[in-house]
Amino acid sequence: MRWSSIVKVLDHDMEPDGLLLPFGILEVKQKQFNIVYGNSVETSDFIVDSPQYWWRYRKHYFRTLKDYRLTWTTGRSWRAVELNL
């Protein structure tokens, strides 16, 4: 749709009602991308809680898996972390 006049808008929400933080998990072999949303202001809690939440709902696809490795980025560098859930 094209407008006949310019509509001025804000490019940021200056007073948001809430906050949702995304945490994505890509299952390469399963070709599955999962996004967990949280609202924790404690980043370390969110980083630990998100894979645990994902594992609770996806572990039935990995019945023979005894251990797994999560690799994630902080935006500047890749880090590999081994978690036993």
Gyration radius from the chain CA atoms:
18
pTM across the whole model = 0.58
| Domain boundaries of the chain, sorted by first residue | 21-83
Which one has a higher pLDDT value, 27 or 2? 27
How far are the Cα atoms of 30, 49, 51, 60, 84 from residue 44, in angstroms, in the given order? Answer: 27, 8, 12, 26, 17
Per-residue pLDDT tens digits for 43-84? 778 888 888 888 899 888 888 877 766 666 555 554 555 455
